[in-house]
Structure 1
Amino acid sequence: MTFFEDGFKKNGLIWLRYIYYALVGCLIGAIVGLAETIFCLVLNGIFKIRVGLEMPLLLLMPFAGLLIVYIFVHYGGKSKEGMNLVFKVDQGKYSTITYLLVPCMAISTWLTHLVGGSVGREGVAVQIGATLSYRIGEKLPFSIPKSMLLETGIAAGFSGLFGTPIAAAFFGLEVLVSGAIRYEGLCSALTGSFMAAYISGLFGIHATQFVLPHVSITFFLMLRVIVLGIVCAFIGMFFSKSLQFMRNNLAKLWPNPYQRIFIMGILCAVLLATLYHGRYCGLGVNLIQAAMTGKTIYPWDWILKLVMTVLVLASGFQGGEVMPLFTIGTCLGYWIGTLLGIPPMFAAALGYAALFAAGTNTLLAPIAIGMEIFGTQYFMPFFIVCAIAFLLNKNHSIYVLQRNLRI
């Protein structure tokens, strides 16, 4: 065999492999995108049901909690581990992901939002994506590394829900192992995330984008942006440590999950009802929109949203942590911006991305989501604030099983 023929064969196989990865990514993205669409449409229907019934539905929180625990105890199996199950499969501790994770997480998240739990929705989204992607991969004619399947599924799940395919692709590549990106999975992660965003977009699920006012980027402004990044780093670390602390201690205080979620459900319902009549219920989109449209943001909005999210999730209710990170970061940035002399709306946008970086221990995904949501014209401040938040968070993450290869 000549040198030319040998080189052609090797290069041809390389390209065929990436074409195969891209096609698999499209397949996963289409299936996951459809699943995310169903999940999101039901969730949107729940939000409509809640209109005008916010306070009465809060009374049902402890009873919804009992139903959630019943679902996981009697039908969930290993699915009760949630995102930890995905990490354990990636790390070789488990061989597969049970299909039960999809309905159990979806139903429990719908129930949590129905009664006004202060949680996000991306937790179940990325878990649905990882589960479907991994199980699809088991049936493919040519094997694909399990890490790539998980990365592609996480990317597709994130993108199908948020409509930010570039940020989703990087999130899938970064979140399982912080500090080391397995770039071989970029091909399937990109095609999967774009396909999922396309499918969900057909049903009206798109990213909510905001137009920022013009801000002159000066040296002194960037110094203030660095300060904002430092603050976000420590608040992100505080959020992740608080969530882990409360989960551990509530489990020790009430080992029985039924007792724990019922008692805490009563406490959370009372707090959510009395704190500005449900201002901190649900996703927190109301607070993000208030910050971005010049409406009232209180200096304590960020800490009250953080406290309520930690209490609700630690009690055993299901949802996600990323959307609350966006909300907390937005309110924190708005408040810090007023103190530092940064235009509040601009600072809120930076906080949105920076707290995401600090809370998830990722870098490229937060930078990308900042540009996809708020525009590319402020790439430099988004890069700086996210880099600072990422570097100074001391490797803490809302994902306790996230592997860390950072120095």
Structure 2
Amino acid sequence: MTNQKYRVFFVILSKWIFWGTIVGLVIGTTTAFLLSTNDYLGEIREKNNWLVYFLPIGGLLIGYLYMNYGKKDGNNIAEGNNLIIDAVNGKARVLRRMGFLVYLGTFVTIIFGGSTGREGAAIQMGGSISETLNQFFKSHILDKKILLMSGISAGFGAAFGTPISGAVFGMEMTSVGKIKFEAFVPCLVSSFVGHYVTVHAWGVEHKEKLFVKHIPDLSPILFLKVIVLAIIFSLVAVLYCQLRHEIQKRSEKIFKENHMKRAFVGGLLVIALTWMVGTQDYNGRSLPMLEQAFTESVPPFAFLAKLIFTAVTLGMGFVGGEAIPLFFIGATLGNALSEIFHLPLSFIAPLGMVAVFCGGANTPIAAFLLAVELFDGKGVEYFFIACLISYICSGHHGLWPSQTLYPPKSRLYSVVESETIKNIEKNKF
């Protein structure tokens, strides 16, 4: 009997190592294509500022594709990461064409100057590939969910070059306050394999040069400053999430869910915003200013400009990720607060970058591990506190309304357990 148990254990372990490897190989390759193409298109746009005037036309194209090819059996690709989360929780099914459409939509958004990131495309491609494997091999319902989580992990780990945080992100993203450890092995394997394939097999480099050069000495005053900063960062994350969701909700109502009209007007709004600020620093991924925030002063309201640009871009129907915009918002906000809190830029900017992302994504462990990997393990005690405080203070808000709370983050929040963020906000307001 004991030998039979060990045999079953090793069979299951081997199965998940095999599937995690397959998922990592495929998604590592597709993510390498995503990163290389995004960099190429981003460079083209930066050299040709006039391309931003074609953003409304790009919106029409994205809207046409999503309206005509993005819906099937009640599943809508336009829901993005929310569809992936619902699929993991057994409430929806990922469409196999999702990966292709989100890649195309992301490329269109990037080259014409929409304010967006890339991890959303990587995660959704991961879900699309995992669903393709699920259907081809007719996986068991529980295996389907685990494969989808491994796809999320591979996409995130490969997109940022952070395989450890990627592994945890796939397990942590789908539910708030509950990590699905049953997916640990395939998530870990797929994230590491995806990262290895992207960087070593295809030679794609992660170009963001972000460093923590100086960590202040430990002191009670410094910990108090970090706590206060984390609260501020969490509130800004909530502001972004609420503005982005409100723009989406109202624009869908105004245009009667006509994705083409919505995105066309959204493109016009982004052009108007670009005219107002007089620069294209907030179009696209805005990587130069993100890097600058770690070493020298940036405009004090840069975080607010990027927040509005991204909320309008994604809220009006364009496609892309939200992690890099949140990194930008947090880093530039930290930069603006540096003199007030008397902290070095290379410390407060990364603190804000990770804390704002954590407050929006509701993934404190993955966000903390992201900081450890990105910044070579420096200042881990501060990043840990910042992530924890930001996670708690962001309350029942977040980037993805489909996330379910298990249990509420604190007794201070009078919300129902096992309820989605979307329903909690609807009932509250």
- Normalising TM by the smaller chain, what interval? over 0.9
The secondary structure found in structure 2 opposite 1:59 is: helix
Q: Which residue of 1 aligns with 2:401?
A: 400
Q: Which residue of 2 aligns with 1:159?
A: 157
Give the drift of 1:141: 7.9
The secondary structure found in structure 1 opposite 2:378 is: helix
Q: Which residue of 1 aligns with 2:424?
A: none
Is the CA contact (8 Å cut-off) linking 2:116 and 2:321 kept in structure 1? yes
- The 5 Å alignment of 1:196-345 reads 196-202=194-200, 203-207=202-206, 208-215=208-215, 216-255=217-256, 256-294=258-296, 296-345=297-346
Give the drift of 1:146: 2.2
Tell me: CA distance 1:259–1:276, structure 2 relative to 1, closer, same or farther (3 Å): same
Q: Which residue of 2 aligns with 1:129?
A: 126
Is the CA contact (8 Å cut-off) linking 2:67 and 2:259 kept in structure 1? no
Identity of aligned residues (%): 29
Give the drift of 1:147: 2.1
CA distance in 2 between partners of 1:253 and 1:405 (Å): 34
Q: Which residue of 1 aligns with 2:15?
A: 20
CA distance in 1 between partners of 2:205 and 2:354 (Å): 18
Is the CA contact (8 Å cut-off) linking 1:353 and 1:370 kept in structure 2? yes
CA distance in 1 between partners of 2:388 and 2:6 (Å): 36
- The 5 Å alignment of 1:130-149 reads 130-140=127-137, 143=140, 145-149=143-147
CA distance in 2 between partners of 1:98 and 1:326 (Å): 29
The secondary structure found in structure 1 opposite 2:399 is: coil
| Residue type of the alignment partner of 1:107 | L
The secondary structure found in structure 2 opposite 1:376 is: coil
Q: Which residue of 1 aligns with 2:31?
A: 36
Q: Structure 2: where are the runs of 5+ without partners? A: 409-429
1:229-266: CA deviation from partner (whole Å, max 9, x where unpaired):
11111111111111111111122223233332222311
Is the CA contact (8 Å cut-off) linking 1:268 and 1:311 kept in structure 2? yes
CA distance in 1 between partners of 2:389 and 2:79 (Å): 31
Give the drift of 1:28: 0.5
1:183-236: CA deviation from partner (whole Å, max 9, x where unpaired):
121111011000000111032324435332232222211110111111111111
1:260-295: CA deviation from partner (whole Å, max 9, x where unpaired):
22223112112124424101011121221111232x
Which stretch of the first structure deviates more once superposed, 351-360 or 198-207? 198-207
Q: TM-score, normalised by structure 2?
A: 0.89
Q: Which residue of 2 aligns with 1:3?
A: none
Q: TM-score, normalised by structure 1?
A: 0.94
Q: Which residue of 2 aligns with 1:195?
A: 193
| Residue type of the alignment partner of 1:334 | N
Q: Which residue of 2 aligns with 1:53?
A: 48
CA distance in 2 between partners of 1:89 and 1:284 (Å): 32
Which stretch of the first structure deviates more once superposed, 76-85 or 306-315? 76-85
Which stretch of the first structure deviates more once superposed, 150-159 or 6-15? 6-15
- The 5 Å alignment of 1:95-134 reads 96-134=93-131
Q: Which residue of 1 aligns with 2:91?
A: 93
Give the drift of 1:384: 0.4
Is the CA contact (8 Å cut-off) linking 2:97 and 2:128 kept in structure 1? no
